[in-house]
């Protein structure tokens, strides 16, 4: 049981980290989805040079590696498809069609099911990755967005941007277990490695709500206030934690900064200046580098985590949305 839990934790971190090291063949590449160019840009992991632009269905946004580390999945909103990119050939080799406006997703720990937010339907879809069929749709609040499979895979969390709630879905019964009212326009999740705290970013409230997954209650809130920015310009979206659970990085959108948060102390330690509209972020496996997708400056910022400084910015496609590092 514990081993499964560990595996599941690995899967959660796979949102931005690479998958199980025993199974994957890491390419070292960096993948960035571009909402407007309909490509996933592939960069070399050390030189940051362009390897390739992989053409995808229209408007790719969320990217995630499969647990075996051989494929990259891309949710393409306007193309109404999940594109499956083979990491060995860097080509779209398969495509799951007819999915109504997919945005974000997560996988079950075994990779069998994809839990996917269906923005237009106001539902969480359960997609069987073997049969490629949508096997269930669970009605949630309008505009579901961030999805996170809980440790062990018994529950899935999904935000509703319009209902301002986090919905807890039981994966066995595929029913709603709880609705948790959080801040306004909740977007993305991170879970502490010990599974004790679920963090959710509230784009419009400029904050993080911290949920206790045992009780499904909000236990605390962290408000971001970088110097020189009005509260309305602080629009946190991407949130990611280091493997030791000590530090979280929160991309603050229009405030053009990434917040560095002491997780146990629930305190903001620093703000790092990045590009325009910092959206989603990814950590390298060794947690030394942080990459941030800047939606309105069409580039990614490379941050030296120890120095808390941007060491490079790399141009990518138009309106970059998400970064994944396959290391």
Partner 1 sequence: MKTLLRTVLVLFSILVAVPAGADDTMTIAYLELTGDPRYRDKAVEARYLGQPWGRPFAGADAARRESKFVGSAIGVDFQLERIEGKDAAELIEGIKSLPGPPVSFVLADLPAQVLSQVAEGLSDLPLLVLNVSAPDDTLRQASCQANLLHVFPSYAMLADGLAQFLVSQKWREVLVLEGPLETDRQLVRAFERSAKRYGLEITEKRGFLLGSDPRKREQNNLALLTRGDYDVVFVADTEGEFARALPYRTLQPRPVVGTEGLAPLAWHWAWERHGAPQLNNRFRKRAKRGQTGYDWAAWMAYKAVVEATLRAGTTDFAAVSAYLRGQDIVLDGFKGNRLSFRPWSNQLRQPILLGTHNWVIDRAPIQGFLHASNNLDTLGYDQRETLCEQ
Q: In the β-sheet with 299-304, what is the strand arrangement from edge to edge?
A: 278-283, 289-294, 299-304, 309-315
Block residue for tokens 């359960």: 126
Residue 200 C-beta: closest distance to partner 1, Å:
12
58 binds partner 1 (CB under 8 A): no
Residue 175 interacting with partner 1 (CB under 8 A)? no
Q: Which of residues 223-252 bind partner 1 (CB under 8 A)?
A: 223, 230-232, 235
Pairing mode of beta strands 207-212, 217-223: antiparallel
Name the pairing type of β-strands 71-76 and 60-65: antiparallel
- Could you say which of 44, 68, 94, 142 contacts partner 1 (CB under 8 A)? 142
From residue 21, alpha-carbon distances to 2, 46, 74, 134, 204 in Å are: 18, 19, 21, 29, 37
- Give the residue, chosen from 60, 183, 226, 236, that forms a contact with partner 1 under the rule CB under 8 A: 183
Given 7, 204, 273, 310, the residue binding partner 1 (CB under 8 A): 204
Residue located via tokens 């990085």: 249
CB of 322 vs partner 1, minimal distance in Å: 16
Choice between 85 and 237, CB closer to partner 1: 237
Q: Given candidates 38, 61, 71, 185, which one binds partner 1 under the rule CB under 8 A?
A: 185
* Distance (Å) of CA 302 to CA 55, 56, 246, 288, 308: 24, 25, 20, 10, 10
Inter-residue contact 261 to 303 (CB < 8 Å): no
| Min CB(76)–partner 1 separation in Å | 14
Q: How far is the CB of 267 from partner 1 (least distance, A)?
A: 13
Question: Which residue in 142, 148, 177, 147 sits closest to 160, CA to CA?
Answer: 142
Q: How far apart are CA 158 and CA 122, in angstroms?
A: 11
Burial class (CB in 10 A: 0-12, 13-18, 19+), 178: middle
Minimum distance, C-beta of residue 211 to partner 1, in the bound complex (Å): 10
Q: Which stretch binds partner 1 (CB under 8 A): 9-17, 82-90, 127-135, 173-181?
A: 173-181
> Is the Cβ of residue 108 or residue 256 nearer to partner 1 in the bound state?
256
Rounded to 5 degrees, φ, ψ at 5 are -60, -40
Min. distance of Cβ 227 from partner 1 in angstroms? 15
Asked if 141 is part of the footprint of partner 1 (rule: CB under 8 A), the reply reads: yes
- Smallest distance from partner 1 to CB 233, Å: 8
Please report whether residue 110 would count as binding partner 1 according to CB under 8 A.
no
For partner 1, the closer of residues 110 and 232 by Cβ is: 232
Q: Which residue has the tokens 């049981």?
A: 1
Q: Which residues bind partner 1 (CB under 8 A)?
A: 101, 119-120, 122, 139-143, 160-165, 178-185, 204-205, 209, 217-218, 220-221, 223, 230-232, 235, 254
């Amino acid at each position: 049981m514990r081993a499964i839990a560990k595996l599941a934790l690995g899967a959660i971190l796979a949102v931005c980290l690479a998958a199980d090291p025993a199974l994957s063949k890491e390419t070292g590449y960096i993948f960035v989805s571009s909402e407007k160019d309909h490509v996933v840009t592939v960069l070399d992991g050390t030189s940051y040079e362009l390897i390739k632009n992989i053409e995808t269905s229209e408007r790719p946004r969320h990217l995630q590696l499969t647990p075996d580390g051989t494929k990259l999945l891309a949710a393409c909103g306007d193309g109404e498809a999940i594109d499956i990119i083979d990491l060995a050939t860097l080509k779209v080799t398969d495509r799951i069609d007819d999915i109504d406006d997919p945005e974000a997703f997560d996988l079950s720990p075994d990779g069998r099911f994809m839990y996917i937010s269906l923005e237009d339907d106001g539902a969480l879809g359960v997609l069987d990755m073997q049969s490629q069929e949508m096997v269930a749709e669970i009605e949630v609040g309008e505009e579901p967005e961030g999805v996170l499979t809980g440790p062990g895979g018994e529950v899935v969390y999904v935000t509703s941007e319009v209902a301002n709630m986090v919905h807890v879905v039981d994966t066995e019964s595929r029913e709603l277990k709880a609705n948790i009212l959080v801040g306004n326009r909740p977007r993305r999740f991170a879970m502490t490695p010990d599974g004790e705290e679920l963090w959710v970013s509230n784009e419009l409230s400029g904050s993080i709500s911290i949920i206790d997954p045992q009780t499904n209650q909000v236990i605390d809130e962290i408000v971001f206030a970088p110097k020189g920015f009005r509260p309305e310009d602080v629009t946190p979206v991407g949130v990611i934690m280091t493997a030791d659970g000590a530090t979280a990085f929160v991309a603050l959108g229009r405030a053009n900064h990434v917040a560095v948060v002491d997780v146990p102390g629930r305190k903001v330690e620093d703000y790092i200046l990045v590009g325009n509209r910092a959206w989603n972020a990814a950590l390298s496996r060794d947690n030394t580098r942080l990459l941030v997708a800047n939606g309105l400056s069409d580039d990614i910022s490379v941050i030296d985590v120890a120095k808390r400084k941007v060491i490079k910015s790399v141009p990518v496609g138009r309106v970059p949305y998400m970064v994944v590092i396959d290391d």
